[in-house]
């Protein structure tokens, strides 16, 4: 099982993150080693601080209006290996290793982007196979 790796961030860096009017910033999670996009969720300042302090991904649920840590209910846990922000500091991106849930659960798909339009096979956001 992966271990948590807290990430040290300067207070000036945290204060410079450009949260929107609701106090949120989009947070992209990529798989460590492959760069594959696993998910997009929202963080507020507290979720960002918890993520960096614990080394596990925390988010803000816009529908439930509460914080949640990825994997606490699904079993699909993420351990942060690196954290970044873009040039205007209004989007976060983390590189995470993960421990997938049991194969029988929907959370065990390789990424959150496993559904597509009606009647279509699940698609990948990854580069198309060029064979």
**Predicted confidence pLDDT, tens digits, the chain (131 residues):** 778 889 999 999 999 999 999 999 999 999 999 999 999 999 999 999 999 999 999 999 999 999 999 999 989 999 999 999 999 999 999 999 988 765 433 544 555 555 556 555 544 444 444 43
Q: Which contacts (CB < 8 Å, 24+ apart) does range 10-15 have?
A: 13/85, 14/45, 14/48, 14/49
| Domains of the chain by start residue, with CATH | 11-108 (3.10.20.810)
The model's pTM: 0.79
pLDDT (0 to 100) of residue 99:
84
Dist. CA 117–CA 17, nearest whole Å: 34
pLDDT (0 to 100) of residue 5:
85
For residues 64 and 47, the answer to whether their CB atoms sit within 8 Å is: no
pLDDT (0 to 100) of residue 95:
94
Dist. CA 28–CA 58, nearest whole Å: 12
């Amino acid at each position: 099982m992966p271990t948590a790796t807290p990430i040290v961030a300067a207070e000036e860096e945290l204060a410079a993150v450009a949260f929107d009017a609701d106090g949120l910033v989009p947070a992209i999670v990529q798989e460590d080693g492959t760069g594959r996009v696993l998910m997009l969720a929202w963080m507020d300042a507290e979720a960002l601080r918890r993520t960096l302090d614990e080394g596990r991904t925390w988010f803000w649920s816009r529908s439930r209006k509460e914080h949640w840590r990825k994997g606490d209910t699904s079993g699909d846990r993420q351990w942060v290996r690196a954290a970044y922000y873009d040039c205007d500091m209004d989007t976060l991106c983390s590189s995470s290793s993960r421990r997938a849930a049991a194969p029988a659960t929907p959370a065990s798909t390789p990424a959150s982007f496993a559904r597509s339009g009606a009647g279509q096979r699940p698609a990948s956001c990854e580069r198309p196979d060029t064979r």
